[in-house]
């Protein structure tokens, strides 16, 4: 839900400023054909990458984002990294960071991590999901989860991400 909220905020903000959104892609390998073809199109001016919670510890997702940033920069597009955390990332070089047109991080720890690397141009903006327009009067207390199966995920360093079906009772 957080990612959907962030994308709502990004798309609504960009559209309200008169930008046209040509395509949306999840964090996929750069050689994913529809994405590879779209990123090479001359018909757009910029790429905005939602860094989300992916930029930590050189994960596969972090490496993919690094590839996307590099490719976008190499073909001369304005490139922005937004709404990101940053923790112990080495797979994205300072050359890439310095070539970006803008970087926004979600919290102070990420800004300090980047600053320690010598990159001081990031700005701190609260997680964009905070700015999503939520219907007035909606509350999670309105939801009834007792003895219902819900799907969630969690991260354990030794095994990675795990998706679980949980029965709340």
- Write down the residue that tokens 């040509």 correspond to: 22
Of 68, 61, 105, 103, give the one whose Cα is nearest residue 86.
105
Q: What is the pLDDT of residue 70?
A: 92
Which portions of the chain are predicted below pLDDT 70? 1, 26-36, 40, 135-169
Q: What is the pLDDT of residue 130?
A: 87
Instruction: Identify the burial level of 17 via C-beta atoms within 10 angstroms of its C-beta, where 0-12 means exposed, 13-18 middle and 19 or more buried.
Output: exposed
Q: Which two tokens stand for residue 160?
A: 């990675």
Q: State pTM to two decimals.
A: 0.77
Q: What is the pLDDT of residue 154?
A: 57
Q: How far is CA 28 from CA 24, 45, 147, in A?
A: 11, 21, 35
Torsion on CA atoms 135, 139, 140, 142, rounded to nearest 10: -110
The count of residues in the chain is 169
Q: Contact, 86 vs 114, CB < 8 A?
A: yes
């Amino acid at each position: 839900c957080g990612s959907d909220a962030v994308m709502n905020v990004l798309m609504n903000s960009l559209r309200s400023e008169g930008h046209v959104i040509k395509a949306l892609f999840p964090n996929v390998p750069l050689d994913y054909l529809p994405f590879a073809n779209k990123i090479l199109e001359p018909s757009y001016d910029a790429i905005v990458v939602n860094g989300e919670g992916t930029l930590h510890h050189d994960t596969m997702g972090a490496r993919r984002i690094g590839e996307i940033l590099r490719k976008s920069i190499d073909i001369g597009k304005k490139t922005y990294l937004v709404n990101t955390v940053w923790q112990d990332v080495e797979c994205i070089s300072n050359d890439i960071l310095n070539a970006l047109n803008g970087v926004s991080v979600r919290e102070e720890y990420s800004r300090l991590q980047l600053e320690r690397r010598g990159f001081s141009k990031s700005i701190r903006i609260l997680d964009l999901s905070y700015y999503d327009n939520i219907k007035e009067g909606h509350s999670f207390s309105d939801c009834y989860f007792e003895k219902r199966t819900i799907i969630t995920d969690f991260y354990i360093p030794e095994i990675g991400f795990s998706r679980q079906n949980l029965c709340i009772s």
